[in-house]
Amino acid sequence: MSETPKGVCRLSVVPVRNAPNESAEQVTQLLFGEHYEVVATDESKEWYRIRMVWDGYEGWVNHLQHHPIAQEHFEQINAADYKISLDVTASILFRKVLTPIVIGSVLPLSPNELFQMEEQLAFNGDSKSLSQRRDVEFVKQMANRYLGAPYLWGGKSPFGIDCSGFTQMVFKLSGYGLKRDSYQQAEQGLAVDNFSDIEAGDLAFFTKNGLKISHVGIILEKNQIIHASGRVRIDMLTEEGIAHKESGKITHQLHSIRRILKET
């Protein structure tokens, strides 16, 4: 049986869609350095269905934005502990082209690529080990780097991000793995049953009209939350839900709270 084709993102940001066409809904994004498996192709062979290694999420990418890698390189990426960029924006030279990258980009480079890149340009931006876990103050610092980022369904970058993409990226930067969607994240970590027990760094989940979980944010203090709604912003948190900072109106009803940072 042949091995499943593999790939790695070599562009700044690549849309991942729910169907194999350019007008299909964007469900997530690939950032530079994120690797994946190709699990299917469409009839035209112009679209690849991929499964991202970090969170297992699947979707379609255009073949022109696919960068194939060998099985050996794929296994190296899985086994190694690479750096993750902490700068809101930075740049890296790849194949003699200066490529802009955004916060959360990973540098999973084969020895050959790394050698070539270091000869041309050393990446000297702010970065840390992908697996290194950091504390709540670091989580708050990373969350604040996204302040003002516009809301974009399926987005994961400071130029457009959705609520669960925001929480996933902040925790990825801090060394913790979250799943992609808010309802999936609501099953991770430890439950915080009493509002009086919440701590900075906890995830708060919300509904509208008492229906299924549809929103998530990061608690900064007992009465503040940072979340992506229109843009990444800080609002007030009450036992009822999110109170819009300017109007005081409850915009999202509190469903549950989970603790990720003290997960054992």
- Give the DSSP per-residue string, 4-50: PPEEE--SSEEEEESSSSTTSPEEEEEETT-EEEEEEE-TTSSEEEE
* CB 39 within 8 Å of CB 4: yes
* CB 207 within 8 Å of CB 214: yes
In eight-state DSSP terms, residue 63 is G
Place of tokens 């709540």: 136
Q: Which residue of the set 35, 73, 163, 252 is catalytic?
A: 163
Helix (H) or strand (E) holding 215: strand 215-221
For this structure, is 9 an active site residue? no
Q: Which residue of the set 215, 244, 252, 255 is catalytic?
A: 215
* CB 146 within 8 Å of CB 115: no
Distance CA 22, CA 131 (A): 34
For this structure, is 67 an active site residue? no
Instruction: Report the number of secondary-structure helices (H) and strands (E) in the chain.
Output: 5, 20
For this structure, is 215 an active site residue? yes
Q: Which residue of the set 35, 73, 227, 252 is catalytic?
A: 227
Distance CA 160, CA 227 (A): 13
Active site residues: 163, 215, 227
